[in-house]
Amino acid sequence: MPRVYMDANATTPLLPEVMEAMRPYWMEHFGNASSIHQHGQQAHAAVGRARETMARFFNCHDAEVVFNSGGTEGDNTAIFGLLHPGDHFITTSIEHSAILQAANRMARFGVETTFVAPQPSGLIDPVDIRRAIRPETRLISVMLANNETGVIQPIEEIGKIANETGIFFHIDAVQGAGKIEFDVRRFGCHLLSISAHKMHGPKGIGAMFIRRGTPIEPLLVGGSHERRQRAGTENVPGIVGLAKAAELAMHSLDDGTIYRLATMRDRLEAAILEIPGTGVNGAAVPNMLGAPDLNFETGESQPVPRAANTSNIWFDQLEGEALVIALDMKGVSVSGGSACHSGATEPSHVLMAMGLDKTRARASLRFSLLKTVTDADIDHVLRVVPEAVEHLRALSPVVAGTLG
């Protein structure tokens, strides 16, 4: 039986080139990048080259790149490193738990947070961010692409608001990396976090862009690594792997790979939507109230930009978890929500914030495609999904007759 992996937003495999780039740094070039002998200098030079690559990836200066352990650390660093008692923090109710839980912890230290809700499409309206600003607001954090729906947020507009009002702006760009071209100057952010394992790099390594002059306290203190912004012996193979993955991601954005990925996702989505009682979460489709999301200025419905690889679909009269298991048994790996929440019975906080009721949120599945996806993969998934849905619906305890 073929196995098809469609859970790229949870994690991705290393590309062979990434593995090859990392290989020497585990054994021959194992030195500590802080040592002054040859072994250390080889490691130091590799970290320097990786920093240059990441600076191109972010479009920033080398000195503005800080290597760390991944997205959770970057998100925590932005919040714990910038906020003080009495400050106000603005974020959204659809962020990853690395932001939400950090905000909750800061409440104990006298930092109040406003969680801005999305529109039914999954988009955050920059006007709502502006409305939430208070004199004591010090930080705004908004994700680039949502991990569950793929919806891309209007971060440039939010960046403009932050810069006009003198507020620091952090972007959790973990799910945008490799799918959207980065330019931290255009984004207008002071801080941005990414993670290697979401873009075919190794797990446990990531990087932050920290705009020069941003008064951020390091999360980890100790040695003088990373210009005293992140203590701890550098994970040299990880850093080399992250940079290789970033280099390949830049090529993929230029050579049509990401466009092809969007076409494949659209083919998959269109065919699944032919199954009765289905719909997309986070797209320019009628919202929960039966009306398309409106642009309040023009009165027209708006297309919602989405990451090229993600499709989040609801299936009436189904439990998402049951469908995940049924598809797994037929060789397809998908997710019922963010990986961190799979296994939990609570419906997705992202879908609930978008206004789905609990039943529909629980009946939703995320297909997130690797950029290496093939037509044969899509064909396999399209063979098994309709059968699995039909089979489960026949067994469904949910009252029949509600399919539109």
Catalytic positions, please? 340
Q: Is 91 in the site for ligand PLP (CB under 6 A)?
A: no
Stretch in the footprint of ligand PLP (CB under 6 A) among 22-30, 65-73, 284-292, 347-355: 65-73
Under the binding rule (CB under 6 A), the answer on residue 75 touching ligand PLP is yes
Least Å from the CB of residue 136 to ligand PLP = 26
List binders of ligand PLP among 177-196 (CB under 6 A): 195
User: Are the beta carbons of 47 and 33 closer than 8 angstroms?
Assistant: yes
CB contact set of 234 (below 8 Å; sequence gap of 6+): 32, 33, 34, 43, 47, 67, 225, 226
Cα–Cα distance list, 183 to 22, 251, 254, 329, 342 (Å): 26, 15, 15, 42, 33
Q: How many residues bind ligand PLP (CB under 6 A)?
A: 13
129 near ligand PLP (CB under 6 A): no
Q: Are 331 and 384 spatial neighbours (Cβ–Cβ below 8 Å)?
A: yes
Nearest partner of 313 among 354, 266, 272, judged by Cα: 272
Q: Which of 46, 60, 155, 174 binds ligand PLP (CB under 6 A)?
A: 174
CB 283 within 8 A of CB 306: yes
Q: Could you say which residues in the range 218-237 bind ligand PLP, by CB under 6 A? A: none
Task: Judge contact between 158 and 142, C-beta under 8 A.
Answer: yes
Of the candidate spans 58-66, 108-116, 167-175, 289-297, the one that interacts with ligand PLP by CB under 6 A turns out to be 167-175
Of 69 and 317, CB closest to ligand PLP: 69
Segment contacting ligand PLP (CB under 6 A): 67-75, 127-135, 279-287, 394-402?
Answer: 67-75
Q: Does 245 bind ligand PLP (CB under 6 A)?
A: no
Task: Check residue 313 for interaction with ligand PLP (CB under 6 A).
Answer: no
Among 4, 14, 83, 98, binds ligand PLP (CB under 6 A): 98
CB of residue 44 to ligand PLP, shortest distance in Å:
25
Q: Least Å distance between CB 134 and ligand PLP?
A: 26
- Which among 51-59, 171-179, 222-230, 234-242 is the span making contact with ligand PLP, rule CB under 6 A? 171-179
Question: What b/e string do you get for 235-265 counting C-beta neighbours within 10 Å, with b at 16 or more?
Answer: bbbbbbbbbbbbbbbbebbeeebbeebbebb
User: Taking the CB of residue 212, how many other CB atoms lie within 10 A of it?
Assistant: 9
Q: Does 170 bind ligand PLP (CB under 6 A)?
A: no
Q: What is the nearest approach in angstroms of ligand PLP to the Cβ of residue 195?
A: 3
With respect to ligand PLP, which residue has the nearer C-beta, 4 or 143? 143
Nearer to ligand PLP, 206 or 347 (CB): 206
Nearer CB in complex with ligand PLP: 73/87 = 73
Identify the burial level of 311 via C-beta atoms within 10 angstroms of its C-beta, where 0-12 means exposed, 13-18 middle and 19 or more buried: buried
- Choose the stretch contacting ligand PLP; rule: CB under 6 A; options: 31-39, 71-79, 266-274, 302-310: 71-79
Q: Does 8 bind ligand PLP (CB under 6 A)?
A: no
From 140, 143, 354, 381, residue interacting with ligand PLP (rule: CB under 6 A)? 143
Map tokens 């026949």 to a residue. Answer: 394
**240 within 8 A of 22, measured Cβ to Cβ:** yes
**How many Å apart are CA 400 and CA 393, to the nearest integer?**
9
CB of 39 or CB of 203, closer to ligand PLP: 203
- Using CB under 6 A, pick the residue from 31, 70, 120, 238 that binds ligand PLP: 70
Distances (CA, A) of 362 to 27, 225, 321, 356, 357: 47, 45, 8, 9, 9
* Structure letter (DSSP) for residue 340: G
DSSP string, 33-85: TT-SSHHHHHHHHHHHHHHHHHHHHHTS-GGGEEEES-HHHHHHHHHHHH--T
CB of 344 to ligand PLP, least distance (A): 14
Instruction: Verify binding: residue 319, ligand PLP, rule CB under 6 A.
Output: no
Tell me the β-bridge partners of 210: 191
Query: Which of 386, 265, 403 lies closest to 326 in space, CA to CA?
Result: 386
* Residue nearest ligand PLP, Cβ-based: 71
Question: What is residue 151's three-state secondary structure?
Answer: strand
> Which stretches of the chain bind ligand PLP, using CB under 6 A?
70-72, 75, 96, 98, 143, 147, 172, 174-175, 195, 206
